[in-house]
Structure formats: C-alpha cells, structure tokens
Amino acid sequence: MTKTLQIEVDPSLCASQERNITGELPYDELQQIQADIDPSSSSIRADLTFSKVGKFVVLTGRISADLVLQCAACLELTDFPVNIDVKLAIINDEARASLIPDDYEPYLYEGERLLISDVVEAEVVLVLPSIARHEVCPVELPKSSASKDYGLETEKKKNPFEVLEKLKLN
C-alpha cells in the first residue's frame, strides 16, 4: 500500500534524523488544487528528505505527477506532466526568510508542526499554468476562439504602417 502524504511532522526533529518521506497524494485528498485539475489526474508522488544547512531546516527531493487539465480554448483535456526539484528552507519565522541559504526557496509554516501534503500542494500550485491550453488543439475551435485568432491577424497587418510611421519620423 502506498503511504499517504497527509502526515504532520516536527521539522526540527525530522532534520536532526534526516528523515525521508515518500508517498502519494491522490486527487481525493487534495485541498488546494482539486478544482484546478481533472479527476483523471494521477496521484502526486513525492520523495522528500529533511536535513540541515547551517541552522536551517531544509527539505529537498522531487515531486512528480501526471496531471490532466482542461484546455481553456477547446475544453478538451490536456496532459500536464509535473516534475519539480524541491529545495526548500522550512521556516516558521518570516523574518528569517532573507537569511536562508542560497538556492533555497523559503517555505513558511505556522505553529509547531508541518503538514507534508500542504508543502507538496503549494509546490504544485507554483507550476500550474494560470490558463491551461493545448499547444495545438486536437479539435476544431468554436467560433469565439477563431475570432480571437482573426484579431491577431489584423494586429500583424498593422506592422507595415508602423514601419511607414518610423520612416516619416526620420
């Protein structure tokens, strides 16, 4: 059975033990990004290790998933593979954010314990596109999108006039 990532840990203790956490976060357990992805998405897999760099607790490893998003243009589904190199400094005091080691991103948590699934979802949020779109849609687009393309065409046609304008200025 796969291990869940919905576990709360004490970051300092984990760092001193160099604890490794592997597990999966299925769609049903998502709190932050469930509305943004399709239910046919794979579980989010994580392989993360706590350690220390200087006085800082750091979390490094990998988060991966084969997410499925809905294309905003044609409304069909589009695959969105996720592969994130995690390099976080885990802090509970915002004032320390400017002091974290080079190459690490700050991750701020509140209270004494850190929920691993929160960290994993927060990292995935950062790579999700604000608007999902196929590079090339597999189906013919509805008219509303086609007229947008027409808009781009007319913009391109403006260019020769701009060139003329510049010549006039010279």
Give the binding site for Zn ion (CB under 5 A).
71, 73-74, 134, 137
Min dist. Cβ of residue 79 to Zn ion (A):
12
d(CA 132, CA 30) in angstroms, rounded, equals: 19
Min dist. Cβ of residue 145 to Zn ion (A):
9
Q: What distances in angstroms separate CA 87 from CA 26, 49, 60, 98, 146, one per listed residue? A: 23, 10, 5, 15, 42
Nearer to Zn ion, 115 or 137 (CB): 137
**Which H or E run includes 127?**
helix 116-127
Nearer to Zn ion, 26 or 142 (CB): 142
Min dist. Cβ of residue 74 to Zn ion (A):
3
Which of 37, 25, 110 lies closest to 70, judged by CA?
37
d(CA 145, CA 73) in angstroms, rounded, equals: 7
Nearer to Zn ion, 53 or 137 (CB): 137
Nearer to Zn ion, 26 or 129 (CB): 129
Min dist. Cβ of residue 125 to Zn ion (A):
22
